[in-house]
Structure 1
Amino acid sequence: MAMFSIPQAKANSEVKETKISAYFHDYFSVQYTPNATDFIVVGFPGMNWNYTKFGSLGVFDDPVTEGPEPTSATVGRLQGIYFPSSLDGVYVGNLFSLVFTNKAYNGSTIQIQGTVDQFGGVMEFSVTSGTGKFRYTNGYFTMEPISFYQPTFYSLLRINVTVKHY
Structure 2
Amino acid sequence: MKRSRAILGLALILCIATATAHSEYYSKTKSAVHMKEKVTHLHFFLHDILSGKNPSAVMVARPNRTDDKSPTPFGSLFAIDDPLRTGPEPTSEVIGNAQGLYLSSNQDINQFTIVLYADFAFTTGKFKGSSFGVFSRNPVVEPNREVAVVGGRGKFRLARGFAKVTTAYFNGTNGDAILDYKVTLFHY
Give the alignment partner of residue 126 of structure 1, picking from 148, 152, 156.
Answer: 148
- Matched with 2:180 is 158
Gapped regions of structure 1 (runs ≥ 5):
none
SS of alignment partner, residue 139 of structure 1: strand
- Matched with 1:43 is 62
Amino acid at match of 1:131: R
Give the alignment partner of residue 73 of structure 1, picking from 73, 81, 93.
Answer: 93
Answer whether contact 1:53 1:88 (CA < 8 A) is retained: no
How many pairs were matched up? Answer: 158
Deviates more, 1:151-160 or 1:126-135: 151-160
- Matched with 2:31 is 7
The Cα of 1:68 is off from its aligned counterpart by 2.4
Gapped regions of structure 2 (runs ≥ 5):
1-27
| Whole-Å separation in 1 of the counterparts to 2:143 and 2:124 | 28
Answer whether contact 1:109 1:131 (CA < 8 A) is retained: yes
Higher helix share: 2
Give the alignment partner of residue 141 of structure 1, picking from 163, 170, 179.
Answer: 163
| Whole-Å separation in 2 of the counterparts to 1:20 and 1:92 | 22
Answer whether contact 2:82 2:99 (CA < 8 A) is retained: yes
Cα 1:137/1:23, change in 2 over 3 Å: same
Higher strand share: 1
- Matched with 2:126 is 104
SS of alignment partner, residue 106 of structure 2: coil
- Matched with 2:50 is 28
The Cα of 1:149 is off from its aligned counterpart by 4.7
Amino acid at match of 2:87: G
Deviations 1:111-137 (A, max 9, x none): 001112121112211100001111111
| Whole-Å separation in 2 of the counterparts to 1:7 and 1:94 | 34
| Whole-Å separation in 2 of the counterparts to 1:8 and 1:82 | 35
Answer whether contact 1:142 1:159 (CA < 8 A) is retained: yes
Normalising by structure 1, what TM-score? 0.83
- Report the identity percentage: 28
